[in-house]
Amino acid sequence: MSREARTDAQEKEFDRFLDLWSRRQFVRNMGAAAAFSVVALGGLEFLEACGNATSSTTGTGGTPKKGGHITELMFSDMQTFNTTISGDDRSTLAQIHVYDGLYTINAKAELYPLIAKDLPKLSADGLTYTIKLRDNVKWTDGKALTSEDVLFTYQLMWDPKYKKVNSPRRSDLEEYVESITAPDATTIVFKTKKVYAPFATAQLQYGILPKSVYGSLTPEEINSAPANSAPTVTSGAFKFVSWKKGEQVTFARNENYYRGAPYLDQYILKIVASSTAILDQLKTGEGDRGDLDAATFDNAKGVDSLQVYSVPQLSFVFYLYQLDKAKSALFQQREVRQALLLALDRKAIAKAIYFNQATVANTSMPPASWAYNKDNKPVFGFEKAKAESLLDAAGWKKGADGIRADSAGNKLKFEMLTNAGNKVRENILVNMQQVWKDIGVDATPKFVDFNKVLVPALKDNRNFQLLLIGFGWSVDPDQSPVFHSRNAKVGGFNGMSYKSAELDKVLDDAVSTLDQKKRKEAYFKMQQIIAEDQPAPVLLFNNLIVGVNKRVNGVVVDTFSGRRTYLKDMWVSDGK
Amino acid sequence: MFLKYALRRVVASIPVLFGVTILAYTLIYVTAGDIVPGLELNPSIRQEDITRIRHNLGLDQPPQVQYLNWLGVGYVLKQAGAWPGEPSKGLLEGDFGTSIIDGTRVMDHIRDRLPNTLELAVTALLLGILMAIPLGVTGALRRGSRVDHFMTGLSVAGVSIPSFWLGLLLILLFSVQFKVWGLPWLPSGGAQSSYNGGDALDRAFHLLMPAVVLSFAYLAVWSRYTRSSMLEVLSQDYVRTARAKGMGVRRVTYLHALRNAVIPLVTLIGLELPGLVSGAAITEIVFSWPGIGRFALQSAIGHDYTTVMGLTTFVAVLVVFGNLLADLLYAVLDPRIRLS
């Protein structure tokens, strides 16, 4: 009895773990290239078409009341308050309450100044970012937050003397940053080595740490400093109260917050064990906000006390073809790759497996991105007959056993990998097996261990023929990690070993200009090339489902749910 | 005598503890390898950073070296200059070191969660004992009666109903549905209310459902043991002798027979002692209880070597201690048993 129970619980845990990394991306590196081109011109106006991100503000409006609390439910515990070493979205979520960064992201996917006074001023060559800080930002110990603190925080992630600090951003910063200087107490200057469009969106949002606390520690000590689990000196809208591990993190109003004190007395992050528990606690009112499973969307909608939102995310589910000739001869022809996609009824998958909380993908760019082309061509619908004729024309004829083979005798027979325990992905592969069988393709699903088999297959040994996985993106639309040929090397995410000189150039050009229009054109081109070539077909864009108690006002539910401009503006109508 | 026996048992358990840690290390290495928890599949994190962090954490060392580093052997040999890398003090620090995921001391993690787990498990244990013994005795005294049949049914249910299922069912009924019906409802999870909670009454409300679920399995098994053991004892000569001497039924049953009948139960409960810490994992997950069992599972899935090793060793020590305690209790309960 208990073994079954444990397996079930593990699956949930596992799904959560997967969920965590797939959603982590856009939470960590929020930014807004949309606002960016305006910055390049030195202006501050908002750009009109900055994306397809949608947002809703919770509550019924009315006059905000002071007092009360909001309890947000999350699956797994945070790890650290140290913004320079964290790589998980739960930690980021906790950190934003106590440590403000230079910027954050708003619902329109725009860079939103926090500690910075306004958007960065760019030099004419596009290399130097000059950022003015507000002069009224205070740490909770009363001292001013200055450029010294900002400089120190970035040194932890970038300066060679802090190599022992476990920062996952060091290589990026080393590649792009020439120097970071603080000419005066309210100015910080980043000089970059080359024009790199995603820089601001990726690197200017880490919470600034107090030098007075961390400055005297050795790099090793910084990795396990007491302040990592109990910050004493903070700058955010809330103050740290307590972190009961595995139970809850409690924050209280920062009366002296430089942008105005929040309405709430307390903000609580409560850790529960599963998505079932989140739904239960939303229903009973033990929790006020939480992410839900797509499967429970309708159920949650039926609860009077809840508002339920389904918002697009910057993530997708896709499968990779093995394009390395030495490993597989099956997917070399573009027609084969297209035909297999055409044979899939993705609307049915969205309905049956994602409970309609996902949309069919016609491009590799998630719809929430400003670079999304909704009219991307070619479009691949559910066209079985066309799929069969494409395969016939490409020389893959059905044999006596009903399985297609080419003239060299290669049978269209292969294994499909995904991680065991992820029911959604397992179901997709089973569906693919069935529909492909109809067109003479013998594909066998194989569910493997995530860490021991699937990740190495994707990144290192590339031992697979077809592999299904999910992926999360940052706000910047650069898709080089998956589609650029340079990332076909060991350790990169181009697991299919796709190499297109044309696409490489488009991707490189797109990040080396700060002209928003040019970037958008480049990404439209990129989407077209990828759709034609189909090296790794994107099946669906899955939505994020959020449930919020109706007593909660002022929460903006959007694609970028991990970055919040509205912390001080939230209030509860019952004042409790 | 007593002390010597206890000491010998403790010394004899040292190889066992080593075996457990080696096995645990091998298992986690086989499942996790040198993966850096949480970073491997993040497209914005480069291979170079992963490699550097892996090196900082010592995960690029061969498994046997990592194990010896964890033991603290690496640190000692390093002082003599005969060891690669920069090992931490490992076990020599005395508190299982720091978690490789969040940098918190493993002992702090345990200290944070242990009280919650003990609160839940001890309550369940007491509930189990308090109900199992009277039920078992009643079943034995009235063998074949309705009460006995009911008890048997309850035991079968207790053993066969998975605790996660029972837990979910109780939550649905007493939390969600009661709330919908406007009745007083029980909290569905956690050890206390997140906002302004934490007083004794609040904690008791939170404790009720998980404790009942956890005790249900105990109750089922223990009442059966008590029943059969009681039956056996009741048929023995000394019980008949006592009755023949004119001693009252109650006195014989509860004073003489019961004392002997609960001996096997003591073993079982002794064996549950480590289970107190680790065995409540499923109940803890269902009720989002912030305890050790749930934490251990999360750590294992997150490939947090140091934490898993720390927890395993901690629980292994408890197993040894639990067994020892059960043995010692034997002697107290049954003077015929001599410790030697």
Residues of A in contact with B172 (CB under 8 A): 280
- A418 interfacial to chain B (CB closer than 8 Å): no
Which residues of chain B from 172 to 201 reach within 8 Å of chain A, CB to CB?
Answer: 172, 175-176, 179-180, 185, 187-191, 193-195
The verdict on a CB contact (< 8 Å) between A276 and B179 is no
Which residues of chain B have a CB within 8 Å of the CB of A69? Answer: 194-195
Q: How far is B267 from chain A (nearest CA, A)?
A: 21
Which B residues 13-32 touch A at CB under 8 Å? 31-32
Residues 27-66 of chain A with CB under 8 A from chain B are 28-29
For residue A305 the two structure tokens come to 């006390």
Which of B31, B56, B282 has its CB closest to that of A2?
B282
Instruction: Pick the most confident of A342-356, B64-78, B210-224.
Output: A342-356
CA distance B241 to chain A (A): 44
For residue B11, pLDDT beyond 90: no
C-alpha separations of B259 from A380, B131, B240 in Å? 77, 16, 16
- Judge whether B311 is closer than 8 Å to chain A, CB to CB: no
Nearest to A223 among B103, B187, B188 (CB): B103
Minimal-distance CA residue of chain A relative to B109: A245
Residue A39 has a pLDDT of 31
The three-point CA angle B304-B305-B308 to 5° equals 85
What pTM was computed for the model? Answer: 0.84
Q: Which residues of A touch B112 (CB under 8 A)?
A: 244-246
Nearest-CB residue to A280 (from B112, B165, B175): B175
* Cross-chain Cβ contact B168/A276 below 8 Å: yes
A5/B41 Cβ within 8 A: no
pLDDT for position B30: 81
Asked if B162 lies within 8 A of A4 by C-beta distance, the reply is: yes
Torsion over CA: A322, A328, A331, A333 (sign): positive
A199, A315, A451: best to mutate for the B interface, most B CBs within 10 A: A451
**The token pair that represents A361 in the structure block:** 């993908």
Q: A87, B303: Cβ pair inside 8 Å?
A: no
Please count the residues of chain B.
340
- Looking only at the bridges linking them, the beta strands covering A466-472 and A413-419 are parallel
User: In this predicted model, what pLDDT tens digit does every residue of B175-196 receive, in sequence order?
Assistant: 999 999 999 999 999 999 999 8
Contact B31, A452 (CB under 8 A): yes
Instruction: Report the alpha-carbon distance of residue A301 to residue A309 in Å, rounded.
Output: 9
Per CB-CB distance under 8 Å, the chain A contacts of B35 are: 451, 455
| Residues sharing a CB contact under 8 Å with residue B83, sequence separation 6 or more, in sequence order | B74, B75, B77
Q: With pLDDT > 90 as the criterion, what percentage of chain B qualifies?
A: 23
Tell how far CA A425 is from the center of its chain.
19
Compute the count of residue pairs across chains A and B with CB atoms less than 8 Å apart: 205
Residue numbers in A near B98 (CB within 8 A) = 224
E strand spans, A163-264? 177-184, 187-192, 238-244, 248-253
User: How far A67 CA sits from the closest chain B CA (Å)?
Assistant: 12
pLDDT at B92: 77
Determine phi and psi for B154, rounding to 5 degrees: -60, -40
pLDDT, tens digit, for every residue of B82-119?
Answer: 777 777 777 777 778 788 878 788 888 888 898 999 89
Write phi, then psi, for A368 (nearest 5 degrees): -75, -10
Spatial distance between the Cα atoms of B323 and B274, rounded to a whole number of angstroms: 9
* B61 or A206, higher pLDDT: A206
B290 touches chain A (CB under 8 A): yes
Distance CA A515, CA A475 (A): 16
Q: What is the mean pLDDT for each group of 10 consecutive residues in chain A (576 residues)?
A: 36 42 34 29 31 71 91 90 88 95 88 95 95 96 97 96 90 92 97 94 94 95 92 97 92 97 97 90 96 92 94 92 95 96 96 93 93 94 96 94 93 94 91 96 93 86 94 89 92 93 97 93 97 97 94 91 89 93
DSSP letter (8 states) at residue B48: H
